[in-house]
Amino acid sequence: MLNSYQEAIEYIHALPKFHRTNKLDRIKSALDKLGNPQNDYPTLHITGTNGKGSVCNYLSNLLEASGERVGMFTSPFINIFNERIQISHQMIGDSELLDLVNYIIDKIDENTLSEFEFVTCMGFLYFKGRVDVAIIEVGIGATHDKTNVIDPDVSVITSIAMDHEQLIGPTIQDIAVEKSGIIKPNKPLVTGFLQESVRDIILNHAKDLNSQVYEYNHGININDFRIKDYKISFEFENVSVKITGIEKTTAINAAVAIQTFICYKKQHDQNYDIKRVIKKIENKKLPARLQIVHKNPLIILDGAHNLAAINNLINSLITNDHNKDIITVYAGMKDKNRHDILDFLSANTKEVHVTSLNMPRAAKADDYDFSKYHNVTYVDDDIKCLNDLVDNLQDEQILLVTGSFYLVSELESYFS
CA atoms within 13 A of residue 243's CA, in its CB half-sphere:
34
Q: Specify whether the CB–CB gap between 63 and 261 falls below 8 A.
A: yes
* Structure confidence at residue 286 (pLDDT): 86
* Percent of the chain scoring above 70 in pLDDT: 97
Rounded to the nearest integer, the mean pLDDT of the chain is 93
* Structure confidence at residue 169 (pLDDT): 60
* Structure confidence at residue 215 (pLDDT): 98
Q: Tell me how far CA of residue 77 lies from CA of 41, 74, 182, 286, in angstroms.
A: 24, 8, 23, 10
Residue-range domain boundaries for the chain: 5-278, 291-415
* Per-residue pLDDT at 22 exceeds 80: no
CA gap 295, 310 in Å, rounded? 21
Task: Give the range among 69-83, 91-105, 205-219, 330-344 with minimum mean pLDDT.
Answer: 330-344
- In this predicted model, what pLDDT tens digit does every residue of 380-394 receive, in sequence order? 998 999 999 999 999
Closest alpha carbon to 53 in 286, 261, 259, 247: 286
* Per-residue pLDDT at 200 exceeds 90: yes
The residue ranking higher by pLDDT, 285 or 44, is: 44
Highest mean pLDDT among 36-40, 305-309, 338-342: 36-40
* Per-residue pLDDT at 161 exceeds 90: no
* Per-residue pLDDT at 323 exceeds 90: no
Average pLDDT over residues 15-24: 79
CA atoms within 13 A of residue 191's CA, in its CB half-sphere:
27
Indicate the fold that domain 291-415 takes in CATH.
Answer: Protein-Tyrosine Phosphatase; Chain A (3.90.190)
Closest alpha carbon to 350 in 371, 373, 327: 327
Q: Specify whether the CB–CB gap between 121 and 147 falls below 8 A.
A: no
* Structure confidence at residue 97 (pLDDT): 98
Average pLDDT over residues 45-71: 97
Helices 248-267, 52-65: crossing angle, 10 deg rounding: 50
* Structure confidence at residue 302 (pLDDT): 93
* Structure confidence at residue 141 (pLDDT): 85
* Percent of the chain scoring above 90 in pLDDT: 78
* DSSP 3-state of 50: coil
Task: Give the range among 121-135, 141-155, 159-173 with minimum mean pLDDT.
Answer: 159-173
* Structure confidence at residue 166 (pLDDT): 61
CA gap 354, 17 in Å, rounded? 26
Q: Given strand 133-137, what is the order of strands in its sheet?
A: 90-91, 85-87, 70-73, 133-137, 43-47, 154-157, 189-191, 213-216, 219-220
For residue 90, name the pLDDT band (cuts at 50, 70, 90). very high
CATH homologous superfamily of domain 5-278?
A: Mur-like, catalytic domain (3.40.1190.10)
Q: Specify whether the CB–CB gap between 305 and 406 falls below 8 A.
A: no
The residue ranking higher by pLDDT, 90 or 336, is: 90
* Per-residue pLDDT at 205 exceeds 90: yes
User: What one-character-per-residue DSSP string does 59-85 give?
Assistant: HHHHHHHTT--EEEE-S--SS-GGGGE
* Structure confidence at residue 21 (pLDDT): 66
For residue 346, name the pLDDT band (cuts at 50, 70, 90). very high
* Structure confidence at residue 361 (pLDDT): 83
CA atoms within 13 A of residue 43's CA, in its CB half-sphere:
24
* Per-residue pLDDT at 411 exceeds 90: no
* Structure confidence at residue 239 (pLDDT): 96
* Structure confidence at residue 112 (pLDDT): 83
CA gap 138, 53 in Å, rounded? 10
* Structure confidence at residue 212 (pLDDT): 98
* Per-residue pLDDT at 118 exceeds 90: yes
Length of the chain: 416
* Per-residue pLDDT at 20 exceeds 70: no
* Structure confidence at residue 262 (pLDDT): 98
Q: Taking the alpha carbons of 293, 298, 299, 303 in that order, is the dihedral positive or negative?
A: positive
* Per-residue pLDDT at 337 exceeds 90: no
* Per-residue pLDDT at 82 exceeds 70: yes
* Structure confidence at residue 165 (pLDDT): 60
